[in-house]
Structure 1
Amino acid sequence: MRMEELTWEEFEKIKAKVSAVLLPVGSVEAHGRHLPLGTDVFAPLEISKRVEKKLKEKGIEILIAPPIWYGHSFVLNVYPGTINVKADSLRRYVRDVLREFAEESFSKIVILNGHGGNVYPLIEASEEVAESHDVEIILINWWIDFREEILKICSSQGHAGEDETSVMLAIAPELVRTEKAKGEKRSSPVRVIRRDIGLELFPNGVNDDPQGATKEKGERILEVVSERIATLLEGLL
């Protein structure tokens, strides 16, 4: 069930019945010329819905919280439409959201992250709340934690690449400009921090070749990832 669709009375009754609250977190940023700016939220939101359905079939209820849309995206801030939030601002904001859920008596909070730049701020925010509240926070970075499974479906993995493009073709094909799906894999032997480094590492906002993407691959990714997460949570909730 979606938290934003409840009244406060319904929320008060439901929160005592659910095993956890699931918080999707993503970013608004460039994803090549072919994917929408909200890709990193659309993916965890869709996975959240599938996880909820699978857990419900097992008799486990969870509450899906409204997503946190804006994330830390320094590297891709060179492209129009990327709304970059400083890492410390994101850490403090997420910390306050997590704290509120803890104070609403949720003992388990699942963060489903869809964006790489968020990882360290999310860890730090979770640690702060866990130090001061009796709560267990489970952080899932879906494309990292299930990389092995994804690479059995796709030949490569990368920003706006084959895996993400496939997932978006499965979620919202009308938002994918397939005729503009072009890119290549780029890397650096060390981390280089420079204001315009994104132009070098993410030409046109891409770091992978998306041309092998298909809706069928995206559906397989969504299914295997949501199944793995549901199984994982079944053992933890």
Structure 2
Amino acid sequence: MIIVRIEELSWPEFDRIKDKVVAVILPVGSVEAHGRHLPLGTDVFAPLKIAELVEQKVRERGKEVLVMPPIWYGHSFALNAYPGTINVRPESLRMYVGDVLAELAAEGFKKIVLLNGHGGNVYPLTEAAEDVAELYPDVEVYLINWWLDFREDILSVCSGQGHAGEDETSVMLAIRPELVNMREARGRRVKRKIRVIKKDIGKEVFPDGLNDDPSSATAEKGERILQIVSESIARIILGEEG
């Protein structure tokens, strides 16, 4: 399978193929703590792999999508309590992603999929998409939060969900097992009735940088999640489901 990467194309090559694609996918994530067992880039590794699978599934149906280089940094206020987390202010993320979306719209893409891998990005990405929708009324931006929008399907595979939990750990075991340290894969679910915002709140809400028990994660579960989510997104792009 040959995967087209925009960053590897010349501008004439890009110009020739852009009118042939039915959608463009922009993966967005974060660099942040994911327990002691997962890499800081988990929230990018997952949506990027899902995007690649979507591209494959769409191509098998005779259509084309284009996967853009990912946006690595996101809004991660709570997890900024842990070393290695790079927190971007929500207004900075909104403006940056909005500029990228506007450029994609100006290139003529009518369907843009924001494939998000990080919870803290949801509100800035929503606002960025709304900004672009105002400027380009004929453009549709699909904001897909893979772990959230397909929660019921994921819970048919895993017993629970949470930051760096069973679902995310399973996905990482399927795509980058060499980066997962299952000897450190332990944690618990922390629940709060209301959201409390204060400095270093992540130490309370995400003890050791996670919020779930990842010990039951397996690569097999991860493969099933990846296939379920990517197939659903492919069907949405192609208009095969609402």
CA deviation string 1:138-195 (max 9, x = no partner): 1100000000000010000000000000000000100001100010000210010011
Q: What aligned pairs does 1:5-16 form with structure 2 within 5 A after superposition?
A: 5-16=8-19
CA deviation string 1:24-81 (max 9, x = no partner): 0000000000000000000000000000000001111011000000000000000000
1:192 pairs with 2:196: yes
Alpha-carbon distance in structure 1 between the residues aligned to 2:195 and 2:206? 14
Match of 2:106 in 1: 103
Alpha-carbon distance in structure 2 between the residues aligned to 1:65 and 1:236? 23
Match of 1:229 in 2: 233
Aligned residues: 237
Structure 1 spans left out of the alignment, 5+ residues? none
- Is the 8 Å Cα contact of residues 35 and 209 (structure 2) preserved in structure 1? yes
Q: What aligned pairs does 1:138-177 form with structure 2 within 5 A after superposition?
A: 138-177=142-181
Match 2:84 to one of 81, 106, 112: 81
Alpha-carbon distance in structure 2 between the residues aligned to 1:90 and 1:43? 19
Alpha-carbon distance in structure 2 between the residues aligned to 1:15 and 1:139? 21
1:4 pairs with 2:4: no
- Is the 8 Å Cα contact of residues 23 and 237 (structure 2) preserved in structure 1? no
Question: Secondary structure in 1 aligned to 2:142?
Answer: strand
Q: Which moved more, 1:169-178 or 1:129-138?
A: 129-138
Name the aligned partner's letter for residue 161 of structure 1. G
Match of 1:183 in 2: 187
Match of 1:210 in 2: 214
TM-score, structure 1 length as denominator? 0.98
- Pairwise CA RMSD of aligned residues? 1.0
Name the aligned partner's letter for residue 71 of structure 1. G
Match of 2:224 in 1: 220
Alpha-carbon distance in structure 1 between the residues aligned to 2:224 and 2:24? 25
Q: What aligned pairs does 1:120-139 form with structure 2 within 5 A after superposition?
A: 120-133=123-136, 134-139=138-143
Match of 1:27 in 2: 30
Alpha-carbon distance in structure 2 between the residues aligned to 1:110 and 1:216? 27
Alpha-carbon distance in structure 1 between the residues aligned to 2:222 and 2:118? 17
Name the aligned partner's letter for residue 46 of structure 1. K
Alpha-carbon distance in structure 2 between the residues aligned to 1:67 and 1:236? 26
Match of 1:52 in 2: 55
Structure 2 spans left out of the alignment, 5+ residues? none
Alpha-carbon distance in structure 2 between the residues aligned to 1:71 and 1:3? 22
Alpha-carbon distance in structure 2 between the residues aligned to 1:222 and 1:34? 20
Identity %: 68
TM-score, structure 2 length as denominator? 0.96
Alpha-carbon distance in structure 1 between the residues aligned to 2:122 and 2:143? 9
Name the aligned partner's letter for residue 193 of structure 2. P
How far did 1:236 drift? 7.2
Provide closer, same or farther for how the CA distance between residues 130 and 236 of structure 1 changes in structure 2, counting only shifts above 3 A. Answer: farther
Match of 1:65 in 2: 68
